[in-house]
Amino acid sequence: MNDTPLARAAAVFQAAFGQVPSIQVQAPGRVNLIGEHTDYNDGLVLPCAIDYRTVIVARLREDRLVRVLAADYEGAIDEYSLDAPIERLEAPMWANYVRGVVRELVQRGLPMQGMDLSIAGDVPQGAGLSSSASLSVAVCRLFATLPGFEALSPVDMALVAQRAENDFVGCKCGNMDQISSACGVQDHVLMIDCRSLAVEPVPMPAGAAIMIFNSHVTRGLVDSAYNTRREQCETAARHFALPALRDLDLATLEARGAELDPTVLRRARHVVTENARVAAAAQALAAGDLARMGELMEASHASMRDDFEITVPAIDQLVGIVKDVIGKAGGVRMTGGGFGGCVVALVPENLVDAAREAVARSYTAPNGMRATVYVCRAAAGAGIVA
């Protein structure tokens, strides 16, 4: 049996609605190669869409109903009218991501139509690969197939999805995840300017695989730690009378750093140096220089560990195991908000098996679990599935 997300979504659709879907769209998950905690400081990030995705199949209705099937949740269904207030549900949570995007599109006055749709995906959930952004962007991309949506650009779709997550679901995320999913380019990473929203594709070096290692370290107290670090960054920017740490240069920080609380100084130094590393990483990848990319990823991890203090011993150990295998031939670092979660590595394809085996042999999470490993390629962004 073909158990792809597309096949699952189509099979559930036909069983429930007795028809074949006429529209098929997808939106990928993402991983951030470098650029951590820079987004809310108006900085630079370097993520890519990955070849794990959410797929939606659908068919237009002649009325104003929206009926949504979750193929991965035993065909659970949600139903509502485009002409009635769209309310947030206590459960199931997946339905709110769809409802939030639909409500945002309605509120923008776009020419919405009723649809039957079925959703399936293979983006790992809870692994920091943006399964929720993938879902939200896919919903927006689905309705963008309708007449009258031509002016909605990929970045616009990303911002619709972000606003739905912020205002309807209640997750105060930045825009990197949604922009990555909406704007991804096959075999490219994206240099995203989180201030201007400019997106610049950068080619991935040939022969490089993206490996993601889920440490299975549960991220505790992330919200409070995240908010504290955001406040510390804003404190530093205010001290220098700047809109954001994006506008602070390292020379000024080094010359006047003694004016700051030592902890605030370390937080600011991470952001300022991380922005520089992202810019350098884009140049390294464009030049096919995996060794230089490895140096930058190593420096990023050290900065997250020592200046931003968001790694944990198990994550540091996992990074070390992978680094011992790939040496200077690639790069590895923690990715995501911190305090657990995932490690990302750029690995020559001929070292993928060795890295996987070393982690299986040498790493065990504090809860006794082994790391889960995903091997990905940089994928295209949201679009119609032919």
**Integer CA distances (angstroms), 211 to 88, 137, 164, 355, 373, in order:** 36, 24, 30, 9, 7
**Could you tell me if 105 and 137 are in contact, meaning their C-beta atoms sit under 8 angstroms apart?**
no
Q: Which of 122, 177, 193, 247 is catalytic?
A: 177
In the chain, ranges of CATH 3.30.70.890 domains: 208-376
- Report the amino acid identity of residue 322: V
| 177 labelled catalytic | yes
- Looking at residue 165, the DSSP 8-state letter turns out to be I
Q: How many helices (H) and strands (E) does the chain have?
A: 11, 12
In the chain, ranges of CATH 3.30.230.10 domains: 5-203
CA proximity to 35, closest of 214, 270, 233: 270
CA proximity to 325, closest of 348, 297, 342: 348
* DSSP run (H or E) holding 343: strand 342-348
Q: Which fold has domain 5-203?
A: Ribosomal Protein S5; domain 2 (3.30.230)
| pLDDT in the model for residue 211 | 97
Token pair recorded at residue 103: 């409500």
**Could you tell me if 248 and 268 are in contact, meaning their C-beta atoms sit under 8 angstroms apart?**
yes
Both ends of the chain: CA-CA distance in Å? Answer: 20
- Report the amino acid identity of residue 134: S
| pLDDT in the model for residue 338 | 87
pLDDT tens track, the chain, 386 positions = 468 999 999 999 999 999 999 999 999 999 999 999 999 999 999 999 999 999 999 999 999 999 999 999 987 899 999 999 999 999 999 999 999 999 999 999 999 999 999 999 999 877 778 889 999 999 999 999 999 999 999 999 999 999 999 899 988 777 899 999 999 999 999 999 999 999 999 999 999 999 999 999 986 545 678 889 999 999 999 999 999 999 999 999 999 999 999 999 999 999 999 999 999 999 999 999 999 999 999 999 999 999 999 999 999 999 999 999 999 999 999 998 888 889 999 999 999 999 999 999 999 999 999 999 999 999 999 999 98
pTM: predicted TM-score of the whole model, two decimal places: 0.92
Across 17-129, where does the E strand assignment appear? 23-34, 44-60, 65-70, 76-81, 115-121
Residue 73: partners with Cβ closer than 8 Å, 6 or more residues away:
92, 94
- Rounded to the nearest 10 degrees, the angle between the axes of helix 262-286 and helix 290-306 is 170
| pLDDT in the model for residue 223 | 63
Token pair recorded at residue 56: 């939606």
CA dihedral 330, 336, 337, 343 (to 10 degrees): -50
CATH of domain 208-376: 3.30.70.890
CA proximity to 148, closest of 107, 116, 109, 98: 109
**Could you tell me if 165 and 173 are in contact, meaning their C-beta atoms sit under 8 angstroms apart?**
yes
Residue 52 class from Cβ within 10 Å (0-12 exposed, 13-18 middle, 19+ buried)? buried
| pLDDT in the model for residue 220 | 58
